[in-house]
Structure 1
Amino acid sequence: MRARGFTLLELVIVLVLVGISALFGTRFIADMATSYTGAAERAQALAGARFALERIKRELSQAYSPSVYFSDDGRCVSFVPVLASGKYAGDVTDQATFIIPAALDHQQPEPTYMAIRADSGEEHWEDYPATRPAHLFALLDPAAIAGGDRVPMAELIGEGLHFDINSLDSRFTLLAARQTRYCLESGSLWRQQREAGEWSEKILMLTQVTSDSAFMEYDESLQLLKMELSVHSRDGTLVLPGQFMVVYEP
């Protein structure tokens, strides 16, 4: 019996079926690749935003609450880092003895300021440390504060200084001689420090930010800062709200 081959119609049908299968297979692979790329970009954007929020949260937890202020447009938040805090014995207006916290032991001395119920608000802090609010004084000898010693007030900040009122819990705070700020600019979040009257070069913290302003509110009575970051990704805009406590404890 003679073997029978494929007819032209059968070959055409097979080629059409192969083409249809290839078309759907290619589309499936392309959709899978797009989905994977989108998920990877979303995860990357989310990780970057979370890192930035965690960095801000960590630094604000070590900030002096009265020093926190926003820019008028909500694009920047600025604050002064705390080195340590502690309590003093006696009346601060009458040469109190300060019990310096041991947290500063073995640290390299740096320019330091002592605050006791300092004023709050941008007008008092925007030029810090070139100008300072009331009840905030430069330490004469930062090296004297190491080791948890008791140091008379006159040895720390000099004679003839006056405080209007004691701290409610006899607490003082030692501040670094610098400001830190986070700002939104050109779709990115930047970090800077101000020392000796000059802001440092900007450090990039996050890109693809779609927020016009991120820093929404600071309630000083609750020491609670609210912010919201909006970040672009292929799948849409990611919105990450944040609430951070500005409460430093020694």
Structure 2
Amino acid sequence: MRARGFTLVELVLTIAVAGIVAMISVQFIQSTSQGMIDTAGRQQLASAGYVVNEQVSRAIRDALPGSIRTTSDGQCIEYMPVVAASTYTDLEVGSAVTQFLAVPYSTATAVSGYISVYPMTAANIYTQNDPGPLTPDTGSVPASTAEITVTLGSSHTFPTDSPERRFYVSLAPEAICQDGDFLYRYRGYGFISDVSNLKAGLPSNRAGGRTVLAYPLETASLNFRYLPPTLQRNGLVTFQYALVHPSTGESLELAQQVRIHNVP
């Protein structure tokens, strides 16, 4: 009986079919892997966006009413963080004072900062005028279980009484801005009366008070808009931006609204 084997044509066809199957398998694995990479990249962008939204929202939500302002291009927002608030019981508005009586903010923790009364006026509080709603120097609020005396850093005149007899204690101004493809938070640069000069007055490094909030952002994608509060409604900050994945290059557009509680 004569033994049979593969002919050359059959062998070539087998190799060709095996090559096609292998190529399809490789392409399938590559597309599946790329899909997993893309999905992971989108999840990373979404997680990073959630963190950025929370950081910006918390900073703005705790801002002093009347201190929020944005640059004309929408790339920066400035505010003064509130560290305490309470009710005064005896304050003579329209006259220079160095102290006033108030309900204690805390029974255990004393606070200090810039004192303001009814800062929701149309005036620019960053000028720190006297008379004005914001003191030019920091004052102190002691801890107590009884009525306290709030001491100002210098003599100051508050021109308008608060409808709710409310006063605030806030820190120095802070700003959040996009610069290139970075999102920065700025601190420690002092008071800048004209918001058009804000960008030029911000620190340029970490030692000066600049820290990174996010990277990378799509160039010029950040836009802050502010609707000021009134006695009938709260203020509203809307911001939108686009994050870019550093490896895949995919971008994700995000938007957020933050309500600024108006407690006069």
Fold shared per TM-score above 0.5: yes
Question: What TM bracket, shorter-length normalisation?
Answer: 0.7 to 0.9
Matched, 1:106 2:100: no
Aligned to 1:135: 133
Secondary structure of 2:216's partner?
Answer: coil
1:135 maps to a residue whose letter is P
From the superposition, tell whether residues 123 and 86 of structure 1 become closer, same or farther in structure 2 (CA, over 3 Å). Answer: closer
Report the TM-score when normalising by structure 2.
0.78
1:218 maps to a residue whose letter is Y
Aligned counterpart in structure 1 of residue 147 of structure 2, from 127, 150, 157: 150
Residue 217 of structure 1: how far off its partner (Å): 1.4
RMSD between superposed Cα atoms in Å: 2.7
* 8 Å CA contact retained: 2:76, 2:224: no
Query: 2: CA distance between counterparts of 1:121 and 1:68?
Result: 12
Query: 2: CA distance between counterparts of 1:122 and 1:216?
Result: 21
By relative contact order (CA 8 Å, sep 6+), the higher-ranking structure is: 1
Report matched runs for 1:200-219 at 5 Å: 200-210=208-218, 212-219=220-227
Q: Could you give the per-residue CA deviations for residues 123-160 of structure 1, whole angstroms, max 9, x where no partner exists?
A: 532xxxxx5251222355x2x5223542245xx12796
Secondary structure of 1:216's partner?
Answer: strand
* 8 Å CA contact retained: 1:228, 1:240: yes
Query: 1: CA distance between counterparts of 2:211 and 2:154?
Result: 41
Residue 22 of structure 1: how far off its partner (Å): 0.7
Residue 39 of structure 1: how far off its partner (Å): 1.5
* Identical residues among aligned pairs (%): 21
User: Mind listing any 5+ residue stretches in structure 1 that lack a counterpart?
Assistant: 126-130
Secondary structure of 1:66's partner?
Answer: coil
Residue 92 of structure 1: how far off its partner (Å): 3.6
Secondary structure of 2:62's partner?
Answer: coil
Aligned to 1:128: none
* Greater helix share, structure number: 1
Q: How many residues align?
A: 236
Matched, 1:164 2:145: no
Report matched runs for 1:1-250 at 5 Å: 1-93=1-93, 96-102=100-106, 105-106=108-109, 109=111, 111-118=112-119, 123-125=124-126, 132-133=128-129, 134-137=132-135, 138-140=137-139, 142=140, 144-152=141-149, 156-157=151-152, 161-176=156-171, 178-194=172-188, 199=203, 200-210=208-218, 212-221=220-229, 222-233=234-245, 234=248, 236-247=250-261
Q: Could you give the per-residue CA deviations for residues 91-141 of structure 1, whole angstroms, max 9, x where no partner exists?
A: 5438752112117x335x5x511100126679532xxxxx5251222355x
1:245 maps to a residue whose letter is R
Report the TM-score when normalising by structure 1.
0.82
Query: 1: CA distance between counterparts of 2:213 and 2:105?
Result: 33
From the superposition, tell whether residues 88 and 72 of structure 1 become closer, same or farther in structure 2 (CA, over 3 Å). Answer: same
Q: Could you give the per-residue CA deviations for residues 32-75 of structure 1, whole angstroms, max 9, x where no partner exists?
A: 12111112222212211221111011111211121111112111
User: Mind listing any 5+ residue stretches in structure 2 that lack a counterpart?
Assistant: 192-201
